[in-house]
């Protein structure tokens, strides 16, 4: 499986995704290219109540997966409204490699949406992930937020270390 990231205008991911799928359905056979907006399902508080909302993990990026190479379409994708094109590796290829490939495979394994993971945390000990999508995550947990049921994780994407808040469910907490 080949994975690709496409940069697009932040906040217009759904719009660009629709145009990409329409474009690839015209150019290729049906369902040869799948597009996802990498999301994380967070627990937010509004007016004192907890609600589940989806937030993009990487705003302004779409994840594509395909069995065939999409290298020939890199110029055509630039013409789509709101689309800035494929992210390229240092060797000018667009197929994800190394840590970026592993990150994309992790997102695809979780069907594009990262839900909360169950964790055990005791002060002075490393956080232990019991189950959920973060069990096989390749990043580093740098901060724990008990009140909002989140952890700040650090991972490398496109040669840059990024920090993202991810949802967790505390099973056992000892502060």
Between strands 117-122 and 160-174, the pairing is parallel
Q: Is the dihedral of CA 17, 23, 28, 30 positive or negative?
A: positive
Neighbours of 175 (CB within 10 A): 7
Q: Which candidate, 135, 70, 71, places its Cα nearest to that of 109?
A: 135
Counted domains in the chain: 1
- Whole domain around residue 91: which residue ranges? 2-174
b/e map of 55-85 (b: 16 or more CB within 10 Å)?
Answer: ebbbebbbbbbbeeebeebbeebeebebbeb
CA 40 from centre of chain:
8
pLDDT by 10s per residue, the chain, length 175: 899 999 999 999 999 999 998 998 888 876 788 888 999 888 787 888 888 888 898 899 999 999 888 888 889 988 999 999 998 888 888 998 888 888 888 888 888 888 888 887 776 676 777 888 877 766 777 888 877 778 888 877 777 788 888 888 877 665 5
Residue 98, classed as helix, strand or coil, is helix
pTM given for the model: 0.77
Between strands 128-131 and 117-122, the pairing is antiparallel
The CATH number of whichever domain residue 109 belongs to comes to 3.30.70.940
């Amino acid at each position: 499986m080949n994975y690709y990231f496409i940069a697009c205008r932040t906040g217009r991911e759904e719009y660009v995704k629709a145009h990409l799928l329409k474009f690839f359905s015209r150019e290729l056979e049906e369902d040869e290219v799948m597009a996802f907006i990498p999301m994380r399902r967070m627990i937010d508080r509004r007016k004192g109540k907890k609600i589940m909302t989806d937030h993009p993990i990487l705003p302004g990026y779409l994840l594509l997966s395909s069995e065939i190479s999409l290298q020939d379409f890199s110029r055509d994708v630039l013409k789509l409204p709101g689309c800035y094109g494929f992210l390229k590796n240092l060797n000018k290829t667009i197929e994800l490699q190394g840590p970026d490939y592993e990150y994309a495979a992790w997102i695809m394994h979780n069907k594009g949406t990262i839900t909360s993971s169950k964790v055990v945390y005791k002060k002075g000990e490393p956080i232990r992930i019991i189950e959920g999508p973060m069990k096989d995550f390749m990043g580093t947990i740098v901060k724990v937020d008990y009140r909002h049921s989140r952890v700040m994780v650090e991972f490398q994407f496109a040669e840059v270390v990024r920090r993202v808040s991810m949802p967790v469910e505390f099973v056992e907490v000892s502060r």
